[in-house]
Amino acid sequence: MADIKIQDLSYYYPDTIKPALNRINLDIFEGQFVLIVGNSGSGKSTLLRTISGLAPGFYNGTLQGKISLDGKEIAQMSHHQLVQEVGIVFQNPESQLVMMNVEQEIAFGLENLGLPDKLMKRRVMEMSSSLGLSPHLDSNVAELSGGQKQKVALAGVLAMHPGVLLLDEPTSQLDPVAAEELLNIIRRLNEDNGTTIIMIEQRLERCCHLADRILVMDNGGISADLKAGNRSSGIWMQKAPVSYLPPLPRLFARAGFKDLPLTVKQGRQFINSYIPETRGQNSFNSALDPVAISEIDSRENLVDIQNLWFTYPNTGEALKNVNLKIREGDFIAVLGENGAGKTTLLKNINGLLKPNRGSIKVAGKDTRELPIEDMARSVAYLSQDPNDYLFMPSVREEIQFTMKNLDLSEDGYGDEIINRFNLEPYSQCNPRDLSTGERQRVALATVLVSKPRLLLLDEPTRGFDYQLKEELGKLLLEINRQGTAVMMVTHDVDFAAEYARDICLMFDGGIIEQGSKYDVLQHSTFYSPQIAKLFNDIVDDVITVNEGVKALLGLTTSIKSKEIVTAL
Amino acid sequence: MLTYNSKDNLIFKLHPFTQMTFIGIVFILALVFSHPIYLLVLLMSVWVVIAAAGNLAEWKGYMKFSIVMVLFIVAINTLFARAGTTIIYRGPEIPLIGSLEISLEAIAYGLGMSVRLLVIISIFCLYTYAVNPDKALRLFSKMGGKSVLAITLSVRLFPLMMKDFQRISGIQRCRGVKLATGSWWERARNSIPIISIMLLSCMERSLQLAESMYARGYGSGPRSCYEKDLWRPRDYIILILTTIAMAVGIWSAVKGWSAFSYYPVLEQVDPLELIGAAITALALLVPAILNWGWMKWPILKSRI
């Protein structure tokens, strides 16, 4: 357990002139839970690296200023001492596990410390029981799920008994359920053991109620230091930049409220205190008018899936009797838990997998008869990791590569798409040097250059902050408006609610519900966006942020006018 | 790596050191012995142990392709060896080879060498199917530091890379890269993007791994070793007896009993000289005998 004192800290990565951290002064007290937010490139990860001694210890570079732990400067501490004081867990579980076996992995750090066998056994036992890893001790790391792998990584660090735990976006690669579990473990560590926690996290709605303090970083410095005070109150948020707020408080902020609720419960208390008598009476998007319905029916079927069954040779049935139509102009989000068959469905549509039984027709042709390369012209596919696309030395060449593969003529569309995706400034840059959001835009451009009729996306918002998500959402809406049907698989219910038009819920290899997002998402308990939960039974058909703001404004103005009437 | 499948029998429940010692000793003896009976006895012991381990089906698969090699060795040796004197067939002149002479000694020599090959293939089969690769590596990690860690890492990353390869090929095919059609050369050329992406990703991943290792104190001082595997009486019994097998084998070799001269005439076999083979075989059969007892009497299971 330790107090951290940072004085005048600046840090330069090797061969750079611009400091990654610029004159930071910060005191973090023992047992604090500190959350760091900020754009990519703002220096969040670098700050954690300097506190853990990785910069300059691992990265070299130049460090100016002082960081001390309990009055002892870390520059004076040996590598051996420092790793016992400060532990760090990274974003991607795949690239921080060293050993093949879970037990060995937890013991890896302890072996490095040269601890005696008896003590190591005890620490491994304690860590595995407290993190629920005991049943997996003998398992091969490769067999674990992403969430379990991240727990193993955490156990490996915690076994070394650090007083300070640093976490660099530990949940960004996990599905919501696994993320929640990991955050609970971290909260327990902080509350039960008093471990000091400094965590970088993009999705504040998951964790801002855990933190004592939120640091906003910008351009290598700390631009706001917000004390949460009482954890359940959201007083700190009034001072935070709106773009860092979670969707719920942001909605209230945009509607001009001063008090910002943090949870759906608080938000509903707020609303109910305004309008106890208007329950269930308001509605925004009244049922689709008959004209719109006939319009839907006349649209052409792009994809027609009938009685689709798919079985993986080793793991069994992944899709069971799926029926689905994708029409021109559709924007569908596919939701469902891990292993529900979402990705398998996408891969069947783009031809990477061929149906075992039943049929998929894309633009009238059976996918079994179409080579995947031919389908690539009409169906574009964007996977989770944009890095899987990028290898050319420049953005422009990356886009030209697709055009050459598909024998597309150079009609200037490549340049047009570069402009449309705001990639012009980087067209000569190496795509791998760009930020996450930019890389994804490049990958998207490389698949959209063939002017496909359907765009498939797999988990496009993984690891994104609110701003990046909004940019992506707007881009997808624009692509959709210009005539490309969009179907995306996601765990992000709020994102799906905001941008998609239809929702498809999958469970255990089948589609269990499908329809307009207003029908599917509104009254669900789990698959319902925060905004819908907020207005459930108070105002109908409110799902997106804009509808929420309108609803809030509508309610408050109606109250005000009523107040005026009663006053008269 | 991916072939290991844990089974519930004594062979699988041995300490990796015991397993590796057994395998190592059989391998060394296979090289030391040249007497066909000594080699046959060795083959028989390994066969019984493989059967006890429940890997006979896999072993048969190995044997099927080995038989082809055996036939090949015997044929080549028969055609080219000229040292034998008991000619059983004399054929016409053949260009390059000369006159075709097939001698009994040459056939015997080919067969003898084939038995040695079969022992080595069988013991390799036992290693592949019955030894947990994790445990084997752990055993070596006590001996060598960095090089073993490098092997561990690459073994860990291998399945990841296979997954990467499949995923990236799929993605690039959706982008129009032709991997399934075209000539061999075109496909090879078209897989360049996939290889480049894998290389780039691997480099990024190894940097992150190195960072994580540094953050957990790797290289900060002398390491200790986490002991996971336990020693049981069965390990001591088998270790002692395999060591005896080794000693007797070496002693027989020193005495010249386990050697055999094929040429110019096959040596006479002295039954006394076969004592070494009998003792070796008995000692090497102990794991199979113990396993049999282990299965039959639960009391033995708890005792050893």
Say whether residue A88 is in contact with chain B using an 8 A CB cutoff.
yes
Q: What is the pLDDT of residue B270?
A: 83
Query: Within an 8 Å CB–CB cutoff, is residue A54 touching chain B?
Result: yes
State the CB neighbour count (10 A cutoff) for residue A206: 16
Give B166's contacts in chain A (Cβ within 8 Å). none
User: Which of A360-369, A429-438, B71-80 has the highest average model confidence (pLDDT)?
Assistant: A360-369
* A444 contacts A461 by C-beta, under 8 angstroms: no
Position with higher pLDDT, A316 vs B248:
B248
Rounded average pLDDT over B1-6 = 63
Asked whether A477 and A488 are in contact (CB, 8 A), the reply is: no
Sheet architecture: strand order including A164-168: A86-89, A164-168, A196-200, A33-38, A213-218, A221-227
Is the previous residue joined to A290 through a cis bond, with omega within 30 degrees of 0?
A: no
Residue A544 sits at the chain B interface (C-beta within 8 Å) = no
Residues of chain B found within 8 Å of residue A83, distances taken between Cβ atoms:
215-217, 220
From the list B265, B243, B252, the residue with the least C-alpha distance to B39 is: B252
Handedness of CA B210, A174, A44, A194 (dihedral sign): negative
Average pLDDT on A557-561 reads 62
Residue B175 in contact with partner chain A when CB distance is under 8 A: yes
Q: Please tell me the distance from the alpha carbon of residue A142 to that of residue A149, in angstroms, as a whole number.
A: 9
Q: Is B105 helix (H, G, I), strand (E, B) or coil?
A: helix
A window 282-301, beta carbon within 8 A of B: none
Q: Which of A101, A121, A391 sits opposite B200 (nearest CB)?
A: A391
CB contacts under 8 A, A 140-179 vs B, are 140-142, 153, 156-157, 160
- Can you tell me the distance from the alpha carbon of A525 to that of A1, in angstroms, rounded to the nearest whole number? 40
Helices (H), A159-262: 176-193, 204-207, 247-254
Q: What's the mean pLDDT when you consider all of chain B? A: 87
Measured in whole angstroms, how far is the alpha carbon of residue B22 from the centre of its chain? Answer: 12
**How far apart are alpha carbons B189 and B185 in whole angstroms?**
6
Q: Which sign does the torsion angle of CA A156, A157, A158, A161 carry? A: positive
Q: Which CA distances in Å does A163 have to A3, A54, A86, B207?
A: 9, 17, 6, 26
Cα gap A203→A551, rounded to integer Å: 24
- Does pLDDT of B137 surpass 80? no
Structure tokens at A474: 């707007």
Does residue B13 belong to the interface with chain A, where contact is any CB pair within 8 Å? Answer: no
Where is average pLDDT lowest: A315-319, A471-475, B93-97, B121-125?
Answer: B93-97
Please name the residues between 92 and 131 in chain B that touch chain A, using a CB distance below 8 Å.
none
Task: State pLDDT tens for residues B69-112.
Answer: 889 888 888 888 777 778 888 777 777 767 777 888 888 899 99
Q: CB distance from B1 to chain A under 8 Å? A: no
B156 vs B277, higher pLDDT: B277
Of A80, A108, A391, the CB nearest to B197: A391
Q: Do B134 and A101 touch (CB under 8 A)?
A: yes
The CATH code of domain A30-59+76-244 reads 3.40.50.300
pLDDT category of residue B121 using cuts at 50, 70 and 90 = very high
Mean local confidence (pLDDT), B149-164: 80
Nearest-Cα distance to chain A for B215, in Å, is 6
User: How confident is the model at residue A78, as a pLDDT?
Assistant: 93
Give the tens place of pLDDT for each residue, A237-261.
666 677 777 778 888 888 888 777 8
Q: CA-CA distance, B133 to B142, in Å (whole number)?
A: 15
3-class DSSP assignment, residue A297: helix
pLDDT at B253 over 50: yes
Is there a contact between A163 and A85 (Cβ–Cβ < 8 Å)?
Answer: yes
Flag whether the ipTM exceeds 0.90.
Answer: no
Instruction: Give the number of A-B residue pairs with CB atoms closer than 8 Å.
Output: 172
Q: What was the pLDDT predicted at A306?
A: 94
Task: State how far residue A152 is from chain B, nearest Cα, in angstroms.
Answer: 13
Q: Is B141 on the interface with A (CB under 8 A)?
A: no
Contact A110 B205 (CB under 8 A): no
Record: contact A387-B218, CB cut-off 8 A: no
Tens of pLDDT, residues A369-387? 988 888 888 999 999 889 9
Q: Considering chain B, what percentage of its residues have pLDDT values greater than 70?
A: 97
User: Mind telling me how many Å the CA of A97 is from chain B's nearest CA?
Assistant: 7
> Is the CB of A112 less than 8 angstroms away from the CB of B173?
no
Q: Is B216 on the interface with A (CB under 8 A)?
A: yes
CB contacts under 8 A, A 368-407 vs B, are 371-373, 375-377, 379-381, 383, 387-391, 401-402, 405-406
Instruction: Determine if the peptide bond prior to B271 is cis (ω within 30°).
Output: no
Q: Which is nearest to B211 in space by CA: A439, A48, A10?
A: A48
Pairing of strands A62-69, A33-38: unpaired
Q: How is chain A split into domains, by residue range? A: 30-59+76-244
**Interface test with chain A among B216, B220, B223, B229, by most A beta carbons within 10 Å:** B216
**Across the interface, do A383 and B167 touch by the CB < 8 Å criterion?**
yes
pLDDT tier, B273 (very low <50, low <70, confident <90, very high otherwise):
confident
pLDDT the model gives residue A148: 93
Contacting residues of A for B177, CB less than 8 Å apart: 373, 405
Dihedral through CA B49, CA B52, CA B57, CA B59, nearest 10?
-10
Nearest to B171 among A57, A78, A388 (CB): A388
Give the model confidence (pLDDT) of A97-115 as tens digits.
988 889 989 999 999 999 9
